[in-house]
Each structure stands twice: as structure tokens, then as C-alpha cells.
Amino acid sequence: MKRIILHIICFLAVNITCAQNEPVTKIAVLGCHNQGSPAPTIPYFADKLQPDYSIWIGDNVYADTETDPQHILRQLQVLENKEGYKKLRETSKFMVTWDDHDYGLNDSDKDYVFKEASKQIHRKFWRLENEIPTDQDGIYYAKLEKQPNGKIIQFIMLDGRYNKDKPGPTADALGENQWKWLEKQLKEKADLRFILSGYQVLLKKPTRWEAWIRQGKSRERLFELIKSTGAEHVVFVTGDQHYVEVLHSPNNVKYKTFEIMAAGINKNEVPGIATNRAMKADVTIHSAPLIEVHWADEPYIHFKNYDVIGDRVNSEFSFKLSQIGWKK
């Protein structure tokens, strides 16, 4: 009876069937973390949801400073001592990028005075010395992760700060070195790619928040690079706003693209306007966003946002990998 019920639930959720013992990859998404407030999401991930990977999407702490880069390190150390952090560090693989507040200053860009010191702090604290060269112009890196079923997930951590221009019609988000590096990464063989950015990619119109649409032609250049390299199975994971939503767009590349925006693990705010939402914005203040990759005969992604205090799934969204270029 339980197996029958499971099949019915899976069919209703994503219009496909699933097997009880199918391999599943679980990916936590954390960001916009106020280090001075309780963060029950972190032990909830570590103890209950037990992800295979933990994405730290940016604003991992709020460490704004114009006078002392060591202030950034001290705030990261507060995070390190939070309940559940060390266990999550030990039991899941971290994939980390930054955004303005853990880079060092609100809406900061390539002109931030402590950008180099901040980069070195980031490399050391997150144990990325072997991933990010000392002299690299930013904290971008990528990982190819082989799953137990033999499939490969690629995580691409973009740096949208170190070389970011001030917003405008000719503004660039990444810098030429990172663009060349990204082209190389997109040519790697992978069954699924998560591209991480501290701020949103698929927003079609500018809002009061930072987004790729405000960085000149960077957004179009990103889509053209995905098309020219033939990179398939791309999903964007982004942060910045203090709520959770899923955006989608059918026209940017040769397949439909989805963006999971999940930030604010102990913060929330009134959602902005996004005309291409696929899932209603969720403002749960203590949220635990979890991406599940179900490697069934017809693979799919099931995204769930948990209300940590209520110990329940508050919102969810699913899509088939065939919608993002998957071929059997």
C-alpha cells in the first residue's frame, strides 16, 4: 500500500512515476544569514534533512566595513560557531560564492577598497585554497561531482562582485578572465549543471535589487555562451532577496531555463515583482530550501522550501530534466 501511495504522490507532483528506491541527490541552499540572530535552519539541515551538498549562495554573513577587513573574518567566525554549522561542514560538501555583504559592503563592486583582502579571507575560511589560486581575480571556481549512480553534477560558482561594474548600459558582471574561464567550464561533460550567482539571472526587468538585467549585456552574453558551448541541463541558483521563489524562461537558450532563488535563512521581506515566477514567493522567515535531484528513469528536480519552526514543507515546485535539455 505504501508503495502505491508513493507512486500516486510522485505522479501528481511532476506528472511522472518514480521508484521507491531511486537514487536522490539532496542539495541545501543557504544565504542571507544574519549572524547576530538565531539560525535554526543550520541544525535543521545538519540533523534532519542531511543534504549531500550545501550551497552557500552569498550574504552568508553581514560584514560590511570600510575600515577593517578583519571585521569580515570575525563575522564568519560567528557563523562557524553557530549550532549545526560544524556538523553540516562535516557531513555535506560545501559549494560557496559570495554577494555584497560578505564581500564587504552593500552593493559593492570592483572598486571596493578591501576586495583583495576579502578574497584571501574567503579562500581560507571556506577552505578553498586549492580551488581558487592566490592571484586569481575573484573567488570563482567549479566542481564536477560524480554521483553514486555514475551521473555527473557540475557546480559553477560565479563571482559577481570582484570585477563587477557599476550598473549601467555597458556594465559587465564578471570580467574578461572569468568569462573565458566560464566558457571552458561549460564545455565540460556533465549530466546536470548548477550555475550559482549571488544575485538573480532570469529577472526580465530591473527592480530595486541588483540583478544581471542591470549589468548591461551581461545577461545576454551569459545565454549566448550557454548556447555556443552547447551546454545543456543548466539550472541557476541565486540569492540576494530575503524570500524563496522559482523563475522560469522558455526563450533564453535552446531549452527552458529555471532559476531557484533561495536566500534569507533567518530574514524575510516583501517580495519584489517578477513576471516570470513559476512558484509563488515564499516569505517563511526560518526557511530551509532543499533541491532534490531524483535520478529516476525520467529524472526530475523537486524543490522544497521547509518551514523550520513548523517542521513542514511550506512550498514546492518540480520540473523534469527533459525540460532543460535532458535526453535518454
Asked if 55 and 30 touch (Cβ cutoff 8 Å), the reply is: yes
Q: How far is CA 282 from CA 61, 129, 261, 320, in A?
A: 21, 36, 10, 22
Closest to 58 in 3D by CA, of 168, 175, 158, 202: 158
Q: Is residue 124 part of a domain?
A: yes
CATH number (domain holding residue 289): 3.60.21.70
pLDDT of residue 9: 40
Q: What is the pLDDT of residue 320?
A: 97
Task: Report yes or no on 182 lying in a domain.
Answer: yes
Q: Please check whether residue 79 lies inside any domain of the structure.
A: yes
- Asked, for residue 211, whether it belongs to a domain, the answer is yes
Is 190 buried (19+), middle (13-18) or exposed (0-12) by CB count in 10 A?
buried
Q: Is 7 contained in some domain?
A: no
Measured between alpha carbons, how far is 13 from 319 in angstroms, rounded to an integer? 9
Residue 12 has what pLDDT?
45
Q: Is residue 4 part of a domain?
A: no
Cα-to-chain-centroid distance, residue 144? 16
For the chain, how big is the Rg over CA atoms in Å?
19
pLDDT at residue 207, as a whole number:
85
Q: Which residues of the chain have pLDDT under 50?
A: 1-18
Please give the pLDDT value at position 328.
67
Q: Domain range spanning residue 123?
A: 24-324
DSSP codes of every residue in 231-295: --SEEEEE--SSSEEEEEESSSSSS-EEEEEE--TT--------TTEEEEEE--SSEEEEEEEE-
Flag whether 257 is in a domain.
yes
Residue 5 lies in a domain: no
Helix axes 115-125, 70-80, angle to 10 degrees: 20
Q: Which of 275, 293, 232 is nearest to 257 (CA)?
A: 232
Nearest Cα to Cα of residue 123 among 108, 133, 115, 114: 133
Cell 554577494 appears where? 99
> Which run of H or of E encompasses 210?
none
Q: Is 221 helix (H, G, I), strand (E, B) or coil?
A: helix
Count of the separate structural domains present in the chain: 1
* AA identity, residue 219: R
Phi, psi of 195 (to 5 degrees): -100, 120
